[in-house]
Amino acid sequence: MKTPEIAIGCDHAGFEYKELVKEYLTSEGFSVKDFGTNSAASVDYPDFVHPLAESIEKGETGLGILICGSANGVAITANKHQKIRAAIAWQLELASLARQHNDANVLCLPARFISAEDAKKFAMTFISTDFEGGRHQNRVDKIARC
């Protein structure tokens, strides 16, 4: 089975890490769709978060990675989408638990608070970790509020 394309996006504060994570994932054999931004010039993160989230909702991409200074802005914005479960991780175990327990489909990384090496490790952990289901499925089913 072919691995779905990974969506990646950022604002100006996350640009450097986005490029590093994208290069790393590509070198590991993943297909990565870049939603921008494409420089360190100041931008508004929702302009990049919404298209990334919509691509996941439509099934055009699989999991997503968003990077900004604190990760808060991109996480808040992504979580406005009904089918998105975005989680912030600043430790390796949080990236893993976001998938295992919450079936998160977007990882949000705080570039100003983690190292570049950690960003790559957290991204790979998130992508390679499966949702455990079981008792967690019932909880995940209760998240959406339409």
Q: Would you say 74 and 66 are in contact if contact means Cβ atoms under 8 Å apart? A: yes
* 12 classed as catalytic: no
Q: CA–CA separation, 99 vs 90, rounded Å? A: 14
- Separation CA 98–CA 86 (nearest Å): 8
Q: Residue 92: which of 77, 73, 114, 72 has the closest Cα?
A: 114
Identify whether 68 is a catalytic site residue: yes
Looking at 12, 50, 101, 136, which residue is catalytic? 101
Catalytic residue among 10, 12, 50, 68: 68
Nearest-5° Cα angle at 107, 101 to 110: 120
By annotation, the residues acting in catalysis are 68, 101
